[in-house]
């Protein structure tokens, strides 16, 4: 992963009668989980304190993760993954591209030693030939497509052609990305490498791999990109409408992906699919890395998982499920660069969670009242909680600065009313402003009243972990809520 700043734009309090409530709820469709995407994770090892590969495999299994991406073909890791039913993407590193491009005999030997020796007991499903090659300061671009072709030829030679061959690109390969419909590749890359690579992917049925980081775009352009838009938290008024095609974007992530799709379409490779091989958000960063922090990392990755696993594609390709690899499994203490580079992990090296988010459909159903398709709608996850022994990074981040707790309209009227009644009753929230004729009674809706009550409770509890949850009916935002003229408190 390299850091490239890619500019991208950015009820009433009384109980409802049970019959009326059931009629209302009957109009909320039950989501279909068919044609959903998949969540995998990157297992990087640029660290001196990580658990043994056998323990890592057990960790993946306990978390319900069945796809993992590596940055090499380390034999101890591939051996540990044998018989695990975890699908694996391996990599041929950039420094081997020139040798792989020069002779098929080299890739024959590489495939025999690193693929055939482990397959099929280790379920290798794809090979990433290089990583962000166009951004490699050693200028290995000229070797990329010949290396990909030789690797593929070697797979065919050894009857392994079901394994896909591709190469992850950084969004810096785009010349234009805003609006998404204007997406285009850099002109100096198109003829030498982009067209030959897309032609290869088209012929072999492999997806284009892309590393997509809204964090980089946000932290480099906080004046034009809202944090909520980068974290999948944008409401309808904050959504971005593409001036070129009229499509509405509720998240920067989807807008960035569609810019890649548009760039491929401009070259007439509209049938090539895309897989997001890296995306994530750091739980720590330097002072100049705006947005880095545990609460934002939990919000981004948690909302992303929900977005992927509840089905649907992007506005430009709505019927094409998203397949995504989170970055990364562990914090890696030996990575160079800014503090953020060492803090993308979902887990500390001791296997404690940096923050707690659901990673599977089952986890989503346990963390929220319903799993609702979110294409074109707002999605959230419960407030993150710090892991035991994890240093409390998320707790500190979640309680620092100005944050508010608001209702998740997708939880449904019944769940919101239940949370509202608790907050205003046993919870002890100050609900006087949402009584009739009071300052925050209007708008007179369950969602608006629940938002006020949830926030009152959240602030009263000092914005502590787990105090903005209400069984998945609430979530934290970083911008002041807007319900009529009502002003929400930020502390007591």
pLDDT for residue 140 is more than 60: yes
Please give the angle made by the CA atoms of 411, 416 and 420, to the nearest 5 degrees: 155
Would the pTM count as exceeding 0.85? no
How confident is residue 87, by pLDDT bands cut at 50, 70 and 90?
very high
Count CA atoms closer than 13 A to 140's CA, side-chain side. 26
Question: Which pLDDT band holds residue 1 (cuts at 50, 70, 90)?
Answer: low
Residue 132 designated active-site: yes
Among candidate residues 112, 121, 127, the one with its CA nearest the CA of residue 86: 121
> CA 456 to CA 487: how far, in whole Å?
11
H or E segment at 476? strand 474-477
Q: Give the chain's radius of gyration (CA, Å).
A: 24
List Cβ neighbours of 336 (8 Å cut-off, separation of 6 or more): none
Joined together, the tokens standing for residue 376 give 């074109």
| 416 in Cβ contact with 368 (< 8 Å) | no
Q: Residue 187: CB partners within 8 Å, gap ≥ 6?
A: 175
In terms of Cβ atoms closer than 10 Å to its own Cβ (0-12, 13-18, 19+), residue 388 is: exposed
pLDDT (average), residues 336-352? 96
Helix (H, G, I), strand (E, B) or coil at 87: strand
Contacts of 357 (CB under 8 A, 6+ apart): 298, 301, 302, 305, 346, 381, 384
* 143 contacts 97 by C-beta, under 8 angstroms: yes
Encode pLDDT of 305-341 as tens digits: 999 998 789 999 999 999 999 999 999 999 999 999 9
**Closest listed residue to residue 84, CA positions, set 41, 113, 108, 53:** 53
C-alpha distances (whole Å) from 275 to each of 88, 208, 272 are 14, 6, 10
No. of H helices and E strands in the chain? 16, 15
| Inter-residue contact 164 to 125 (CB < 8 Å) | yes
Q: Are 297 and 279 in contact (CB under 8 A)?
A: no
Copy the structure tokens of residue 448: 């608006």
Q: How much is the pLDDT for 205?
A: 97
Q: What is the mean pLDDT of the chain?
A: 85
Per-residue pLDDT at 463: 80
Is 125 an annotated catalytic residue? no
Asked whether 473 and 369 are in contact (CB, 8 A), the reply is: yes
**Residue 72 contacts residue 344 (beta carbons within 8 Å):** no
Condensed to tens digits (0 to 9), the pLDDT of residues 359-384 reads 998 888 776 433 333 333 333 443 33
Give the tens place of pLDDT for each residue, 234-290. 876 678 899 998 999 999 999 999 999 999 999 999 999 999 999 999 999 999 999
Partners of 240 in beta bridges = 249
Catalytic residue (choose from 275, 278, 332, 447): 278
The answer to whether residues 446 and 12 touch, using CB atoms and an 8 Å cutoff, is yes
Residue 341: predicted pLDDT: 97
CA torsion angle 267 270 273 279 (round to 10): 60
At what angle are helices 104-111 and 144-157 packed, to 10 degrees?
60
Count of other CB atoms within 10 angstroms of residue 121 = 12
């Amino acid at each position: 992963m390299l850091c490239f700043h890619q500019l991208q734009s950015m009820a009433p309090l009384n109980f409802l009668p049970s019959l009326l409530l059931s009629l209302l709820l009957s109009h909320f469709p039950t989501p279909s989980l068919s044609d959903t995407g998949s969540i995998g994770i990157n297992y990087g090892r640029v660290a001196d304190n990580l658990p043994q590969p056998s323990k890592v495999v057990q960790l993946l299994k306990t978390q319900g993760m069945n796809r993992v991406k590596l940055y090499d073909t380390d034999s101890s890791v591939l051996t540990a993954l044998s018989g695990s039913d975890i699908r694996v993407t391996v990599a041929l590193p950039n420094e081997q591209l020139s040798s792989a491009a020069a002779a098929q005999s080299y890739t024959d030997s590489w495939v025999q030693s690193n693929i055939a020796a482990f397959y099929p007991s280790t379920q290798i499903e794809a090979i990433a030939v290089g990583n962000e090659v166009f951004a490699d300061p050693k200028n290995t671009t000229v070797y990329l497509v010949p290396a990909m072709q030789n690797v593929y030829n070697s797979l065919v030679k050894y009857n392994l052609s079901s394994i896909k061959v591709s190469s992850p690109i950084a969004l810096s390969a785009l010349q234009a990305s805003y609006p998404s419909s204007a997406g285009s590749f850099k002109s100096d890359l198109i003829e030498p490498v982009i067209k030959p690579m897309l032609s290869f992917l088209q012929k072999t049925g492999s997806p284009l791999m892309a590393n997509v980081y809204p964090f980089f775009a946000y932290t480099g352009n906080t004046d034009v990109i809202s944090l909520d838009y980068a974290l999948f938290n944008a409401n309808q008024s904050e959504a971005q409408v593409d001036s070129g095609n009229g499509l509405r974007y509720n998240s920067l992530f989807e807008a960035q992906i569609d810019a890649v799709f548009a760039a491929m379409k401009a070259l007439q490779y509209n049938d090539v699919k895309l897989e997001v091989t890296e995306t994530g958000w750091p739980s720590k960063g330097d002072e100049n890395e705006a947005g880095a922090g545990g609460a934002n990392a939990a919000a981004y990755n948690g909302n992303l998982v929900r977005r992927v696993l509840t089905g649907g594609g992007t506005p430009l390709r709505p019927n094409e499920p998203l397949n995504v690899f989170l970055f990364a499994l562990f914090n890696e203490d030996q990575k160079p660069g800014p503090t953020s580079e060492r803090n993308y992990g979902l887990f500390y090296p001791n296997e404690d969670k940096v923050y707690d988010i659901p990673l599977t459909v089952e986890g989503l159903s346990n963390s929220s009242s319903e799993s609702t398709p979110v294409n074109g709608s707002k999605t959230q996850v419960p407030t993150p909680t710090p892991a035991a022994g994890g240093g409390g990074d998320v707790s500190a981040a979640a309680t620092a600065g100005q944050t508010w707790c608001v209702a998740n309209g997708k939880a449904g009227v019944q769940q919101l009313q239940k949370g509202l009644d608790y907050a205003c009753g046993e919870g002890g929230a100050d609900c006087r402003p949402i009584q009739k004729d009071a300052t925050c009674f209007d708008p007179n809706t369950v969602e608006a009243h629940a938002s006020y009550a949830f926030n009152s409770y959240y602030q009263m509890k000092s914005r502590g972990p787990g105090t903005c949850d209400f069984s998945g009916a609430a979530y934290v935002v970083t911008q002041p809520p807007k319900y009529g003229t009502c002003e929400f408190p930020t502390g007591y």
